[in-house]
């Protein structure tokens, strides 16, 4: 269980000298908000009241992950069920000309996948799918933990739309019948028709990029993906870790669309 100091660190508050609530003024996640009042869950309530020390009447902002931002004030500063009175709302849909879906193999060290998820959400990603490949050393992910990382990164970077985390899926099942406009598979092994990502991906539209495990995609997997319409791409000359390759792909698509 994370202690108070850990909670402070997660949200950027020093445990040595606490900042006032008005100095931090963070966003809180309210996925099912409706009406003029909302009760934060226990985790958000504890952070707002115990860590940030908000009191009755102080202003807060809420985000529902669906593109809406809400203004409100603390009505009942209960650290288990803090009630917020809603005073206004606005649509803050992120203005991006593209959508990005990255399918990435689970990693032996889960903290490396955590890092990829956090940073890709901060940059901007719509969907993440863990894909089980032949060389995947791990076949599962800690979905609850990753969802928490997504929410924290979404609030930290003020992303109005929540990144969707899909359930793990087998490679051969995943590559079939994809509807994205641009489908790419990035891998390390030599391939005569492999194209640089920056040349294969044009601005706008829906983009899907597959990133393989530590041992790379197998030749059969690459062949299957190409048969299903995926473009084989390169992320450069360096051999990158899986999580680094995923973030490099996310960052490249971001800059291609600027």
pLDDT digits (tens, 9 = 90+) for 230-244: 999 999 888 899 999
Mean pLDDT score across all residues of the chain: 88
Lookup result for tokens 């689970």: 106
- Both 174 and 244 in one domain: the answer is yes
DSSP 228: T
- Residue 9: pLDDT over 50: no
Enclosing domain of residue 103 = 98-256
163: DSSP letter: P
The pLDDT score that the predictor gives to residue 25 is: 56
d(CA 64, CA 89) in angstroms, rounded, equals: 11
pTM of the complete model: 0.85
CATH number of the domain to which 222 belongs: 3.40.1280.10
Residues 36 and 10 grouped into a single domain: yes
Q: Hey, which residues does 184 pair with through a beta bridge? A: 209, 231
Give the per-residue pLDDT at 119.
97
First to last CA, the chain: 41
26 has pLDDT over 80: no
Name the pLDDT band for 18 (thresholds 50, 70, 90).
Answer: very low
CA-nearest of 185, 186, 191 to 229 is 185
Residues 108, 11 within the same domain: no
* pLDDT tier at 159, thresholds 50, 70, 90: confident
Contact call for residues 15 and 9 (beta carbons, < 8 A): yes
Hey, what are 171's tokens?
């490679």
The model's pLDDT over 30-75, given as tens digits with 9 standing for 90+, comes to 999 988 999 999 999 999 999 999 999 999 999 999 989 999 999 9
End position of a domain, from candidates 91, 107, 130 = 91
Gap between the Cα atoms of 256 and 258, Å rounded = 6
Query: Do 53 and 143 share a domain, yes or no?
Result: no
Q: Total structural domains in the chain?
A: 2
pLDDT at residue number 141: 96
Picking from 61, 65, 46, the residue whose alpha carbon sits closest to that of residue 4 is: 46
Structure tokens at 131: 């894909």
- Structure tokens that stand for 237 in this block: 């000359």
45 in Cβ contact with 80 (< 8 Å): yes
115 and 221 belong to one structural domain: yes
**Which pLDDT band holds residue 93 (cuts at 50, 70, 90)?**
low
**What percentage of the chain carries pLDDT values higher than 70?**
89
For 25: left if phi > 0, alpha if psi spans -120 to 50, otherwise beta; the answer is: left
Say yes or no: 173 and 86 in one domain.
no
């Amino acid at each position: 269980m994370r202690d108070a100091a850990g909670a402070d660190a997660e949200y950027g508050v020093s445990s040595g000298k606490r900042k006032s609530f008005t100095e931090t003024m963070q966003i809180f996640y309210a996925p099912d908000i409706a009406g003029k009042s909302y009760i934060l869950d226990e985790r958000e309530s504890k952070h707002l009241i115990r860590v940030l020390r908000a009191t009755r009447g102080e202003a807060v902002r809420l985000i529902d992950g669906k593109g809406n931002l809400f203004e409100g004030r603390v009505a009942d500063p209960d650290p288990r069920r803090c009630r917020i009175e809603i005073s206004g709302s606005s649509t803050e849909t992120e203005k991006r000309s593209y959508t990005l879906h990255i399918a990435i193999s689970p990693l032996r060290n889960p903290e490396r996948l955590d890092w990829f998820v956090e940073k890709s959400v901060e940059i901007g990603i719509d969907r993440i799918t863990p894909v089980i490949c032949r060389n995947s050393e791990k076949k599962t992910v800690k979905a609850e933990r990753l969802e928490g990382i997504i929410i924290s990164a979404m609030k930290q970077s003020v992303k109005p739309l929540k990144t969707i985390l899909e359930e793990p899926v087998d490679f051969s099942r995943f590559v079939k019948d994809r509807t994205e406009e641009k489908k790419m598979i990035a891998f390390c092994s030599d391939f005569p028709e492999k194209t640089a990502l920056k040349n294969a991906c044009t601005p706008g539209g829906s983009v899907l990029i597959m990133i393989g495990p530590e041992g790379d995609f197998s030749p059969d997997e690459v062949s299957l993906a190409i048969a299903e319409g995926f473009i084989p791409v390169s992320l450069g000359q360096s051999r990158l870790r899986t999580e680094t390759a995923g973030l490099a792909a996310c960052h490249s698509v971001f800059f291609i669309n600027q």
